Amino acid sequence: MAVKAWQLGSPGTGIYKFYDWLRNRLNFKLADYLSSRGLNRENCIVLEAGSGPAFASSILARHPRVGISIAVDIDSEALQQARLRDSSLSLVVADLNHLPFRDESIDLCWNSSTIEHLPTPQSAVNEMVRITRSEGSVFVGVPTVLGPLGVQRLMRGTSAGIWIGETFSFDDLKGILVKSGLNPQNHLYYFFRFFIGMLCKK
C-alpha cells in the first residue's frame, strides 16, 4: 500500500500511531486558533479545502459558532477514514482547483499541509478565495523553509522530499495570498515551527 501525504507508515504500525498522536495535538491547537480568530459570526460555514482524514474539521464542527463544518479532499480513501472516525462530518470528494461551491458561500475556508503538494498552489488558493464570502476568512498553513522541514530543498525528487512537499518562506506564502486578493491579518509558526500559517480577510 502506498503511503499517502496524510499518513506516515502503514495503518496499525507504531510509527503510524505516533504520527496520529502528533497530528491530533496539532489539530486541537490549530482548531483553537481558527475558532478564536477566524469565526466572526454565528452559524459559520467552515470548509477545510484539502482535509485528508479531517481531524480538525471534526473539532471545529463541535464549536458553538460553527453551523456546519465541511471537509473536502480529492482522496476518497482519506474521507473514508474520516467517515469511520466521525459519521457526522459533511464530506465532499473534489479537486481543490474546481471546488463545487457557489461564490461567496463559505465563512472560513482553510487548509494546513495541503498546497505544498499541489502543482499550482496559486490556483487552489484562488478557488478558496472565490468561495469565501466578503469579509470572510481564509487560512493557509504550509511547511516553512526556516523550520525543520527546510531540509526538503536538499531532498527534492526523493520519496521523503516528495512526501514533505515544497517548503515556503514568510514572503512566499504572503505573496500567494496577496496575489489572490487577500489581506493577511495574522501569522503563526506552529507544530514545533514545522509550519507557518497566515489568516487573511477577503
What's residue 185's pLDDT? 97
CATH tag, 14-201? 3.40.50.150
In 3D space, the residue among 97, 45, 51, 106 whose CA is nearest the CA of residue 73 turns out to be 51
**Partner residues linked to 196 by β-bridges:** 142, 189
Alpha helices by DSSP H, 117-191:
121-131, 159-164, 170-179
In 3D space, the residue among 16, 24, 39 whose CA is nearest the CA of residue 191 turns out to be 24
C-alpha cell at 194: 514545522
- Between 19 and 70, the more confident residue is 70
- Could you read off the pLDDT of 35-64 as tens digits, one per residue? 999 999 999 999 999 999 899 999 999 999
For the cut 80, the answer to whether the pLDDT of residue 96 exceeds it is yes
- Could you read off the pLDDT of 3-19 as tens digits, one per residue? 344 444 555 666 556 55
Contact 89, 66 (CB under 8 A): no
Dihedral (C-alpha) 100, 85, 108, 144: value to the nearest 10 degrees?
A: -100
For the cut 90, the answer to whether the pLDDT of residue 119 exceeds it is yes
**pLDDT-derived band of residue 22, with 50, 70 and 90 as boundaries?**
low
**pLDDT-derived band of residue 147, with 50, 70 and 90 as boundaries?**
confident
Among the ranges given (67-76, 91-100, 142-151, 186-195), the one the predictor scored with the smallest mean pLDDT: 142-151
